[in-house]
C-alpha cells in the first residue's frame, strides 16, 4: 500500500495536522512533552526534531505542535516526509496496543453527556486535529480536557462555549456550563 500524507492547517497556528490514508490508532494518544513520549517510538522520533514541542495521534492523523521559533514553511515538508516513512515502516505509536471500545461510567446523566461528547463532539474536534476527554459532571458543570491542536488554541474557548456547551445544554437540560481543565 502506498502511503499518502497531506497536511491541513488547524485553528491553532502552532499545530499542523498530518493526515494519512491508513488508520494509525483507535482512540487517541497525546504526548505534550518529550518526556511523555517514553513509550511511543513514533512520538519519540518526532521529538528528536528540535522544532517539535507536542505530538498528538488520533484515527488517521498526527497533529504536530511546533516551537515558536519555527516556521511551517521551513519544516512542513520535512515532517511530511518523516510521517510518510514512519507509517510505511510501521513505527509504533505506543508499545502496548490493547484497544477497547469506549466505556461510559457514572449516573444516567453522566453517561448521556459522555455519549454525546463521543458521538457528536469528538468527530468535529478531531477534524481540527484535537481531542476532547470527559472529566466530570458536578452541579450542572461539565469538565472536559482539550488535547492535541485544541490545547492552547486561541479559538478553543469559543468552541467550548458556543459549540459544546450549547449542544449539551440543548440535549441534557441538567447541564448549565462546560469548562476545560487545564493540562
Identify the residue whose cell numbers are 515558536: 68
Identify the helix (H) or strand (E) that includes residue 122. Answer: helix 122-127
Report pTM: 0.63
Tell me how far CA of residue 69 lies from CA of 45, 101, 126, in angstroms.
20, 40, 26
Q: Among residues of the chain, what percentage have pLDDT more than 70?
A: 96
Domains contained in the chain, CATH given: 5-89 (3.30.1370.70), 108-181 (3.30.300.130)
What's the pLDDT tens digit per position in 81-136? 999 999 999 889 987 544 556 788 899 999 999 988 888 888 778 777 778 889 99
Sheet holding 130-138, edge to edge: 130-138, 141-148, 177-180
How far apart are alpha carbons 60 and 53 in whole angstroms?
20
Q: How confident is the model at residue 67 (pLDDT cuts 50, 70, 90)?
A: very high
What's the pLDDT tens digit per position in 129-181? 778 889 999 999 999 988 877 777 777 777 777 788 888 998 999 999 999 88
How far apart are alpha carbons 57 and 68 in whole angstroms?
21
pLDDT at 97: 43
Amino acid at each position: 500500500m502506498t502511503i499518502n500524507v497531506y497536511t491541513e492547517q488547524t485553528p491553532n497556528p502552532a499545530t499542523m495536522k498530518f493526515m494519512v490514508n491508513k488508520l494509525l490508532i483507535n482512540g487517541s494518544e497525546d504526548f505534550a512533552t518529550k518526556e511523555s513520549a517514553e513509550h511511543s517510538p513514533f512520538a519519540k522520533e518526532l521529538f528528536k526534531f528540535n522544532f517539535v514541542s507536542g505530538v498528538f495521534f488520533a484515527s488517521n492523523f498526527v497533529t504536530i505542535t511546533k516551537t515558536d521559533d519555527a516556521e511551517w514553511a521551513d519544516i512542513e515538508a520535512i515532517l511530511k516526509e518523516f510521517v510518510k516513512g514512519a507509517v510505511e515502516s510501521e513505527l509504533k505509536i505506543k508499545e502496548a496496543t490493547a484497544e477497547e471500545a469506549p466505556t461510559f461510567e457514572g449516573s444516567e446523566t453522566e453517561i448521556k453527556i459522555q455519549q454525546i461528547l463521543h458521538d457528536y463532539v469528538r468527530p468535529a474536534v478531531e477534524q481540527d486535529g484535537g481531542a476532547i476527554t470527559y472529566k466530570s459532571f458536578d452541579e450542572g458543570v461539565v469538565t472536559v480536557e482539550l488535547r492535541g491542536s485544541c490545547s492552547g488554541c486561541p479559538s478553543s474557548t469559543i468552541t467550548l462555549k458556543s459549540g459544546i456547551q450549547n449542544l449539551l445544554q440543548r440535549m441534557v437540560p441538567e447541564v448549565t456550563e462546560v469548562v476545560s481543565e487545564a493540562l
